[in-house]
Every structure is written in C-alpha cells, then in structure tokens.
Amino acid sequence: MKRFFPEKILVEADVADLPLTRQVIGRCDGVPVETVASSREVILEAFHNRQGDFDGKKQLLLCRNRGRFLEPCPGTKPDYRCCGYVIVHTGTGCPLRCTYCVLQAYLNNPFITLYVNREDLLAELQSSPLLQQGAVCRLGTGEYMDSLALEHLTDFVPAILPFLHKHKNLVLELKTKTTEIDHLEGADHRGTLIVSWSLNAEEIVQTEELGAAPVCDRLAAAELLIAKGYRVGFHFDPLIYYPGWAEGYKKVIDMLRESISPEAVAWISIGSMRYMPALKQTALQQFPDTTIYSGEFIPGLDGKMRYLQDIRLEMYRRVTGWLREYSKDLCVYYCMESPHIWQTTMGFAPESNTALKRMLDQQVKI
C-alpha cells in the first residue's frame, strides 16, 4: 500500500523547533510548510468554512497536546463489557478512509494531527497513576488514529521502547490496517509490543476501508513479525452484515488458519457494527455510495445504533465457531457487548469489566 505523505504541513508556532517537528518536516521533503499561530484557531476555521470537497486528510497539523496523553478507555454503559486498556494519545485522524470510522462524527478537527511535544508524553507516562498499580497495564495508540500509518514519519516505537523496557508490567498494542512494519522488524521489542490487525471480509475492505491494505497483505505482515518473535492480535471489528457476509468472513478465517500459528496470537476481538446516531449523516455525505448504514439498526443501551440482537447473535455464533475450529485455545472476546450475548454464544460471560481485563492481562507474556 502507498505510504502517506501530506500535500501541506501546518506547524503551530510554539512547536516549530521541537525535535519531532523537525524530523517530520525533514521526512516530507518538498512538502510546503506553513506556520500558524494557534492550532485551535486553524482547526475551527477549517471546520466551519470547509466545503463538501474539503479534505483535511491531505494536510498534516503538527501541534502541542495541551491536554492529557493518557486516559482509560471510556467504554460504554455498564451493560456492556469493556477490556480496560489505557489509551495513549499521539494524535488524531488517519490517512485511511473507512466509511464506518467513528472519528467522522467524534472529532471537529478535519486535519491529520500529530502531537509533537513527545517529552511531555514520556513525562506523563512516568508519573501517571494509571501505570503505577503494579499489575499488567495494556496501552494502545489505535483509538484516534491507525497506530502505524504515520510510523515512517514519527518513529514512535523506537521512542517508547526504552520506557517499556524499564516497566515490566506494561505492554503496548499497536492496531493497524496497514503493512507499515519496517520500523518493527529490527526493533528490540522484548515482548513488550503486540501488533494487531483489524480484519474484515475482503468485500468490505475493498468498498468500506479505502486506502487500507488487502487482508492477505495484513496477514503476510503478521507472519513476518511472528518470525521476529512478536505476538500478534486480530480484531474482527466491525462485523458488517451484508449479502454474503458468512462466506466473506469464513474465507478470512480460513486465510488466518492457513498462515498464522494460533500459538502466536495473543487475542482476537469481535464486535458488530455500532455507531453514534450522528455518524450516519456525516458518513453518507462523505461516502454517498456506501450501503452499510441501511441495515436493521436499533438504539442500544448506550445510545449507539446496533444491529438487531438476532442478527448479532447469528454473526457471533458463526464467527466464534469458525475461530474455535481454528484453535479451541484462542483468547476470543467481544468488544462492547452484553453478558447475555457472551453467555448465549460463548457459554460464559465475564462477571465484570475487571474480570474481562484480567482475562486479557493473562495473555500478556513479557
């Protein structure tokens, strides 16, 4: 797949001399750079004045994060189980264009944005009470952007590894739909990194995950890292109900079984398509040809639109069944689903979010 390079770089004035700013600009040779006084002002102006064809994904904004870098996964209502990982904010936005991406409705920032005050991130990591509890702590950078899509510009992994090596209870999960693993193949990871790929039916990849790598390429990248001693994860999220969905997802799991040893898999998550009501209108404006919002959805207990329960149960039963044929020892879990769904399709349910977190923590081998 083609690497992302912006058509223009916007730099907040007070970060112009930071090392990461200089590095990113240096790796975008020939890309025009504009200094702006305030990232907040340029974001608001672009958001309110943009036309239908405005595409902030072509521009990269380098600025300071003035908020927190770490936060617990917000999860959802107590009625749904959450895995309890800690989000690491390295920026927002993504060069990929997935029609179901929640960021379309969640963010008011049209630019791909990198927080370049990395020293502040490392300082917060050092002092955060979230990381001082002694137990396993799973960190993740894939909540607000693809974890690896900008790694060729940022070198985030080499920057974070020394910290991870000093704190033996930490593991960082990198979630991606790309094949950007060059910076990982030679890294001294010592088991502190788990690289995870989102997987979907190839029909969905081609029509709804624009710019992402094909499934076969994602699995090939996983194979390469396994050969370098990495453990990997996979996320079937969102499962999308479409004509031929069963054949599509069965084919992906067959590909998984043929190429990836289950012993190298830390975990596999499953989640059906769900979205905030506001996302539908925004997504249809950006992607008028998509049909994934025309299914049978109802508001869930958390206010998000979800497939009817019978549809979710059918999809979960079949996908988990195929994964159990792949290996009965896999750690498979649902993302943001009710104990009833767990019990009905898997025969058990974590009694709490803490219990689900413990289940995943036990898969970490540092």
Q: How confident is the chain (366 residues) per 10-residue block, as mean pLDDT?
A: 94 98 97 95 81 66 96 76 91 95 84 97 89 82 95 97 91 98 94 97 97 98 97 98 98 98 98 95 94 94 93 98 97 94 96 92 84
pTM of this prediction exceeds 0.75: yes
- The answer as to whether 2 is a domain residue is no
- The answer as to whether 187 is a domain residue is yes
Q: Which domain holds residue 109?
A: 8-361
According to the model, what pLDDT value does residue 79 have?
Answer: 76
- The answer as to whether 99 is a domain residue is yes
- The answer as to whether 105 is a domain residue is yes
According to the model, what pLDDT value does residue 76 have?
Answer: 60
Number of domains forming the structure of the chain = 1
- The answer as to whether 3 is a domain residue is no
According to the model, what pLDDT value does residue 65 have?
Answer: 97
Instruction: Judge whether 60 and 53 are in contact, CB under 8 Å.
Output: no
CATH number at residue 230: 3.80.30.30
According to the model, what pLDDT value does residue 263 have?
Answer: 97
- The answer as to whether 347 is a domain residue is yes
- The answer as to whether 366 is a domain residue is no
- The answer as to whether 337 is a domain residue is yes
According to the model, what pLDDT value does residue 107 have?
Answer: 78
Query: Which tens digits make up the pLDDT trace of 52-103?
Result: 434 668 999 999 999 999 998 877 666 789 888 899 999 999 999 999 999 8
According to the model, what pLDDT value does residue 54 have?
Answer: 45
